Chain A
Amino acid sequence: MSGTRPINCIIPPYILDKLLDSENSEVRQAALDTMLLTARLRGERAIRSSFTGAAAPGDGRRTVFDCEQEEFLRNAVLARPEDGPESTDPAVNRAFDALGLTRDFYKEVFQRNSVDGQGMRLDGYVHFGFKVNNAFWDGRQMLFGDGDGQEFSNLTGSLEVISHELTHGVTDHTSGFVYHNQSGALNESMSDVFGSLVKQWSLKQRAEEADWLIGADVWTPGIGGDALRSMKDPGRAYNNPQFGKDPQPDRMSRFIHLPDTKRGDFGGVHFNSGIPNKAFYLTAVRIGGFAWEAAGTIWYEALKASSAEDQFQDFATTTFQKAGELFGAGGPEQAAVLSAWQEVEVPIRGVPTGVARIRSFAANGSGGAGREDGLAALARQIGTLNDKVTQLAKDVAELKGTR
């Protein structure tokens, strides 16, 4: 028998039993959708954790290297180790400080020990290539170009760009969102969300005070007031003759379909990330206060509970479930999550559209309190079913273990 199949195969009879229990067709559908989702998540997570490699020691020790405008990491020169003195090169120090802030953010806010949760060392390479207009994560380390001074200035000049890249590592080690189409756009969005949160956290900004921009300090240095992306206003980050207008959509009806190729940005992962980005922004401002506290925790827990192929609707549903688990079903946090996804036109599985609409009004401060009990009850039912599926998945795993 294959190692992965039993969990997925054993669920349907149980679901059928439960479906027969409920008299309400919407609850039956909610249960079905949620249980299918949850069962898949648990299965994926269990499988992935069994493949986890050896821990990389070091508590996120930083090392910054200087590529001296070449592309070859093996030729790069050590510029600043964790315990070393400040460099005379500001790019080295900016990268060093931003890696530290990102590491400290994950540690203090989410009790996560570095990128992999196991203290993985953080290596950053500055001055990558000749005037390279890019910063990227190569699967193990971060690389920062100097920019050409027109499209970008030195890429180490933006804290949220650095924490964006590092968060790609976090996503690789959690959900592993596949870097194509919707799951790829979720991957991109996670990097923008936590990238922006690192900046807000470092400045102790409340959600309503933050600019919610990505790369404002490094994008088109000759043009003021613009940014690479806006989480608050996707599609309005920049507008200039050279690069045109920011093409990011802010809702599903504006979703951009691009080919799943390098030239098509793997199905527009840097385009459609605008949709989940906006959902996070709306959630954060509707909850209010520090975005990394409630909204950030909901998103982080949802990221850890997600699986690689998840689509927008899957992730939206997971955030809704996590908001209920963490802050109470039917509470203001869960209502904020629901209304945010509703506004970007991503439905939550198992929540009838009518309920979502009423709750949106409630979250927007236009009433609807009378329906709160209905949603709370529905959310509780979904939560109970989830717990049972989780227990079942555990039982199956134990059964497999005893063979």
Chain B
Amino acid sequence: MSITYLEAIREAQAHALRDDPRVFIYGQDVGAFGGAFKATKNLQKEFPGRVLDSPISEDAMVGLAVGAAIEGMRPIIEMQFADFSTVGFNQIVNQASTLFWRTNVPCPITVRLPFGGTSGSGPFHSQCIEAIYAHYPGLVVLTPATVEDAYSMLLGAVAVNDPVIFCEHKFLYYHLKAEKLPSEALPIGKARIAREGRDLTIVTYSAMVHEALVAATELATEGWEIEVVDLRSIKPLDTDTVMASVARTGRLLCVGEAWPWGGVTAEVIARVTSEGYGLLDAPPQRLNAKDTPVPYHPNLWAAHRPTSRSVAAAARNLLRT
């Protein structure tokens, strides 16, 4: 038996619904249809009254979730695409994220964001906007890169007593497979060493972990040992694991599929240079998507975002300095 990243997300939701009567799912087409990506396939049938279609109203979807959370429920909101979560942005960053701090009443909602580029998806179905959410206090932002993490971190997200932005990468939905679902997991907030090495550290997350791993394999044939750190959670960001890796390798390359201005890669570099300047043997580098909307045509798209080739090239440059 094998299970995909997408099926793991469905299974995690089934598990959460089964275990906890406070959980419900609300989103566009999530009911009988099972969601645009089928992440809620058959769940409405299995859990009547708890998997509900919403109108196309991202603001009101999140607002409703906050109200339900106040009432002790643990709603999961499915955004059809991460890109559309901007319509619900206000409720996420001003309502959900401030509630606990203002009132001492927790806001345990999970907002699922199918995000990231896939070929042919274009400017409005491809965005990586995790960093915007991470910027706001009061939110936890998760970016699982593996089938196992997709499953266990989604379960963890539902259990966390705070609003969680769960960024699930659409490129990984069908590509990524595992033999079985995990029974144990690293805690939320801990990064993972996806590959060990001693010459250079690549810090990345989500789909870019896989590009980095391919690049590392390629560089291994040239004699370089690349360490790949999968952040798993971008907020909180596990600075300790990153710093320990840089202490081993002395070289840091941060890779993100998001746009270059600010963001996760800039944050990691800021932390490492300010807290671990002495660990660095060369100026830290970062590789991001280009600063344009995400293009439609596969040729343009492949050149817009980092790939294993551009990651390997950036790593080679850094290894030579």
Q: Do A and B interact?
A: no
> Which chain A residues have a beta carbon within 8 Å of chain B's beta carbons?
none
> Which chain B residues have a beta carbon within 8 Å of chain A's beta carbons?
none
